[in-house]
Amino acid sequence: MKYWQTFQNALTTTLTYRGNLLLRLLTVGLDIAVASFMWLAVYRFSDQDSVAGIGASQMVIYLAVVNVLALIFSASPIFTLSTLIRNGNLSVMLLRPINYFRQSFWTYAGQATPYLVIYGLAIALISPVFRHGWRMGLSSLVLIILTYVMFFLLISVISLISFWLVQVWPLRPVLNALFLLLGGQAFPLQILPASWHWLTVNPFALAGNQLTLLLLGKLSAHQLTLDIGMATLWLVLALVLIKVLWRRGIQTYEGVGS
CA-CA distance, 127 to 65, in Å (whole number)? 11
pTM of the model: 0.91
Please check whether residue 161 is in contact with residue 246, taking contact to mean a CB–CB distance below 8 angstroms.
no
Q: pLDDT tens digits, the chain, 258 residues: what are they?
A: 678 888 988 889 888 877 787 888 889 899 999 999 999 988 888 877 888 788 888 899 999 999 999 989 999 999 999 988 888 888 888 888 888 999 999 999 999 998 898 888 888 888 887 777 778 888 989 999 999 999 999 999 999 999 998 788 888 889 999 999 999 998 899 888 888 889 999 999 999 999 999 988 888 889 999 999 999 999 999 999 999 999 999 988 876 655
Cα 40–144–231 angle (5° rounding)?
Answer: 100
Amino acid present at 114: P
CA-CA distance, 87 to 257, in Å (whole number)? 4
